[in-house]
Structures are given as structure tokens and as C-alpha cells.
Amino acid sequence: MKFSKLYWFDDTKLYHVRISRAKLFSPWVLCIILSAICGYCIHWFEPKTKSRPAYDELIVMVDAQENELMSPRAMYEYMKEIGIKYPEIVFSQVIVESRFVSVVCRENHNFFGMKLAACRPNVQTGENLGHATYRNWKMSVIDYALWQSSTGVWKLKNEAAYFNYLDQRYAEGANYAIKVKEIRDNFDYYLDVYDKKFKSGELK
């Protein structure tokens, strides 16, 4: 882009003198820079107000939204999304452990009856009612995935071996694997039933 040349009239010498653009605009540039620095300093040192929620408050807001958006089908899809091994069995465990309405499930966001971890990697936030607590339902699912990754289940080659492992290492009550397998064998039916219960408000 071509700019016109700028001049000023020197009445002592009676002729026009060309004006340097650098000298003309440099004071304005300096003023803009100083204004920006002053504005930054004022913002930095001014007393902080409560106009925006703090970090912890934002976490609570996100957690509340996550728990409101939870549904049985959403949970099953999330299990597959994060790579849970044998998600149909794991979802069947949720029904056996909590049926989406147990006290531990509601208060702790713990859908698997998971106990407080001793040394394995986890996303637990504490303990309540003798069980682990989580920020939201997704963290409960993630923690189950961490439990899987810290055990030998990834070496199990079929569902029968996984049921056997649950009976030996996971279950506290009798016939645990039998109860889980009964739901697994009718998985689509139970997924549909619990999703309808959620939509009708029975699980809230």
C-alpha cells in the first residue's frame, strides 16, 4: 500500500521539509504501549472480586452437571469409550452392586461397591459408609478401569475367565458371579429396562 509523503512548512527557511514517519508515529506507539502496561498492572493489583466462581466452585458445577447427565446407557457407552474390558459384564456388576439407587451409589457416586484403594492408582476422593467416594459417576467408571489395569484381568481371554476372577478376587457375597452372569446373559433387556426407569424418573 502506497502512502502520500508528509511535509511541514519551515517559515524560517521558507520551504517545505519532509516529515519522518518514524518520528511522527513513535510517540503514539509509546503511548499505546504504556497504556497497555498500566492497564495490566491495574488489573493485576486490584482487589479480587467474587464476580466469577473460584476453581473449586467450577469443579462442583461440572460435577453436578455430570451427575445430572448420567443415565444407564450413557454409563455403558462411556465404559466402551474408555476401553473397559468386558463392558457388558461390568455394567451387569453395576446392577448387582447398586441398581443405580443404593445409598452408596447416591452419596458416594460409587456404582461398583468399590472399597478405598490401599496402594493402586485411583481417582477416589475419600471414604464414606465403608466405601470409596468419587466426584461424579464418570470417576467411578474410571476408577474401575484403573482397578482392571492394576490386576491381571487384561490377560483373561474370555468372559468365563472373567466371571471366575470376579468370584475369587472381587466378590464379597456368595454366588456373585452367578448373579452378574444372569444379567449379562440378558444384557440388552436389562440395559433397556434400566434406561427406561431412568427416563421415567424411577432412578432419581
pLDDT in tens, 78-132: 999 888 999 999 999 999 999 999 999 999 999 999 999 988 899 999 999 999 9
- Whether residue 141 is predicted with pLDDT greater than 80 in this model: the reply is yes
Residue 61 lies in a domain: no
**Same domain membership, residue 174 and residue 74:** yes
CATH code of 133's domain: 1.10.530.10
Residue 156 lies in a domain: yes
SS3 state at 162: helix
Residue 56 lies in a domain: no
Helices (H), the chain: 21-45, 55-69, 72-81, 87-97, 103-108, 137-150, 159-165, 176-184, 187-200
Provide the residue range defining the domain that includes 20: 7-44
**Same domain membership, residue 15 and residue 100:** no
Residue 55 lies in a domain: no
**Same domain membership, residue 75 and residue 31:** no
Terminal C-alpha separation, the chain: 66
**Same domain membership, residue 36 and residue 76:** no
pLDDT in tens, 37-68: 665 555 555 544 444 445 455 445 555 556 66
Task: Decide which of 40 and 24 is more confident.
Answer: 40
Residue 49 lies in a domain: no
